[in-house]
């Protein structure tokens, strides 16, 4: 648990930051049940790769239970000036209740990180086709999801910008 002196709101605590990152906090169970109905349940064992770095599959995962890790390929700048893949580095742990792969879900661009199961995991999977179906059947809910994902990504970008500003000082 850390505080973030490099963010504008320096009085905010981690709990405040985490609270901001909750997907659709105002939704009730009836809305969620509609979404969960179109999800698929996937299970992974320790060591299984859920999302491989570079994957462009437009899908979203909700971690029902279990712990996963987010790994990136650490690049090493060599003497010849080229960046080369060096080895995987652990960025963070992901626990139940997290929503993952939202960037690739929205833009279809390669996932920057590999997500790997650390323990036995159960994930709820939602891909673009299922979401298209959901969009047709519940356009207002789909709109709310996309809008909130946009808000969350915007928030993440703001935080990254603050972080960069902090380090560039």
Partner 1 sequence: MIKNPTFPNYLQIPSVVPRRAWHFARLMTIGLAYGIAITAFIRPQAALFIFWKMIIPILPVLFFVGPGIWRNICPMAALNQTPRLFRFSRALTAPDWLRNNAYLIGIVMFLIIVPTRKALFNSNGPALGLLLLFALTTPLIGGYFFKGKSGWCSSICPLLPVQRLYGQTPFVRVPNNYCQPCVGCAKNCYDFNPNTANLADQYDPDRRYSGYRRFFAGTFPGLIAAFYLTPDPPKITVQAMYLQIIMFVLISLGIFLILDTFLKASSFRITTLFGAIALNYYYVFNIPSMANTIHHVFGVTLPTWVLWGAHLTIFALSSVWIFRTYRKERLYVRKSVAQSSEVRSSRILTNSIIAHQSKIANHPEVNFKSEGKRVLAAPGCNLLELAERNGMHLEAGCRMGVCGADPVAILDGMGNLSKISSDEQSTLDRLGLAENTRMACCARVKGPVTVSLKPEKPKIARSSSIIGFRYDPDIRHVVVIGNGIAGITAADHIRRRHPDCQIHVIGRENHHLYNRMGLARLIYGRSAMQGLYLMPDSWYDEHQITCWLNTHVSHIDAQAKTIELADGEMLPYDRLVLATGSRSTIPSIEGYGLPGSFVLREADDAMQIRHFAQKYGSRRAVVAGGGLLGLEAAYALHKFGLDVQVLERSVWPMRRQLDERGGNFLMAYLAAIGITVVTEAETAQVRGSERIEQVVLKDGRTLDCEIFLVCAGIKPNIELAAEAGILTKNGILVDDEMRTNIVDIFAAGDVAEYGGQVYGLWPIAVAQAETAAVNVVGGKKSYVEITPSTMLKVAGVDLLSVGQFEARSSFETEIVLEDEAQHLYRKLVIADGKIVGAILLGYPEHNAAVTAAIREQRSVDHVLSYLTAGNWAVLADSDEEADRAEQSAVVPHLAH
What residues numbered 44-103 form the site for partner 1, per CB under 8 A?
44-49, 57, 59, 62, 64, 69-71, 87-94, 96-100, 102
Closest by Cα among 129, 128, 122, 73 to 106: 128
Non-local CB neighbours of 121 within 8 Å, separated by 6+ positions: 43, 44, 48, 50, 63, 64, 65, 66, 67, 68
Q: By CB under 8 A, what part of segment 14-33 binds partner 1?
A: 14-15, 17-18, 21-25, 27-29, 32-33
The answer to whether the beta carbons of residues 108 and 58 sit under 8 Å apart is yes
Q: By CB under 8 A, what part of segment 101-140 binds partner 1?
A: 102, 116, 118, 122, 124-125, 127, 129-130, 132-133, 135-137, 139
| CB nearer partner 1, residue 45 or residue 85 | 45
Calculate helix-pair angle for 139-168, 128-137, nearest 10 degrees.
130
By rule CB under 8 A, what count of residues binds partner 1? 76
Least separation in angstroms between residue 79's CB and partner 1 is 19
Least separation in angstroms between residue 139's CB and partner 1 is 7
């Amino acid at each position: 648990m850390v505080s973030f002196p490099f963010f504008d709101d320096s009085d905010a605590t981690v709990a405040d930051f985490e609270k901001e990152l909750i997907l659709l906090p105002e939704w009730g169970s009836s809305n969620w049940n509609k979404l969960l109905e179109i999800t698929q349940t996937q299970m992974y064992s320790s060591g299984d790769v859920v999302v491989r770095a570079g994957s462009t599959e437009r899908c979203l995962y909700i971690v029902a239970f279990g712990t996963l890790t987010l790994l990136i390929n650490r690049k090493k700048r060599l003497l010849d000036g080229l960046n080369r893949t060096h080895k995987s580095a652990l960025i963070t742990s992901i626990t139940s209740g997290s929503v993952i792969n939202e960037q690739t879900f929205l833009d279809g661009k390669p996932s920057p990180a590999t997500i790997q199961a650390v323990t036995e995991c159960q994930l709820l999977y939602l891909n673009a086709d299922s979401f298209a179906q959901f969009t047709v059947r519940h356009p207002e809910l789909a709109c709310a999801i996309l809008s909130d994902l946009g808000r969350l990504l915007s928030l993440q970008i703001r935080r990254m910008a603050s972080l960069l500003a902090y380090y560039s000082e």
